Amino acid sequence: MTMERDTLTGIILASVREFAQMSDKAQGHDLAALDEKTRLFGGSGLLDSLGLVSVLMDVEQQVNDSQGTAITIADERAMSQERSPFRSVGSLTDYVLTLLHEQGA
């Protein structure tokens, strides 16, 4: 089963909204208006480190459950990239789609 980009983006946005509500960094952001350009981490990012861990764990679980895969989002390749794939909703979507493609999903 191939996962559509829009479906994956929807999963990520829902997860970000859930965990951003618990983060002080999300104060003042309109969580209903998030999109692929939304920064997740860093200076203007919505999430603190715990929030990012929670989102990655949550997205990984949902993707693996729905696709029957065993992807690991925070793998060594992700952690060693000069530009973190976790910097925005769009870059995270790209990275997860790459992992799914490599697993033939």
Q: Which residues bind another protein (CB under 8 A)?
A: 50, 54, 57, 61, 64, 70
| Closer of 23 and 91 to another protein (Cβ) | 23
| Closer of 21 and 35 to another protein (Cβ) | 21
Tell me which DSSP letter residue 27 carries: T
Considering the complex, what minimum distance in angstroms separates the CB of residue 13 from another protein? Answer: 19
Considering the complex, what minimum distance in angstroms separates the CB of residue 83 from another protein? Answer: 25
Residue 1: name the closest of 66, 54, 52 by CA. 66
DSSP 51-105: HHHHHHHHHHHHHHHHHT----TT-HHHHH-SS-TTSBHHHHHHHHHHHHHHTT-
User: Residue 28 corresponds to which tokens in the numbers above?
Assistant: 């003042």
Considering the complex, what minimum distance in angstroms separates the CB of residue 67 from another protein? Answer: 13
| Closer of 36 and 58 to another protein (Cβ) | 58
Residue 59: name the closest of 6, 1, 10, 11 by CA. 11
Considering the complex, what minimum distance in angstroms separates the CB of residue 62 from another protein? Answer: 11
| Closer of 51 and 85 to another protein (Cβ) | 51
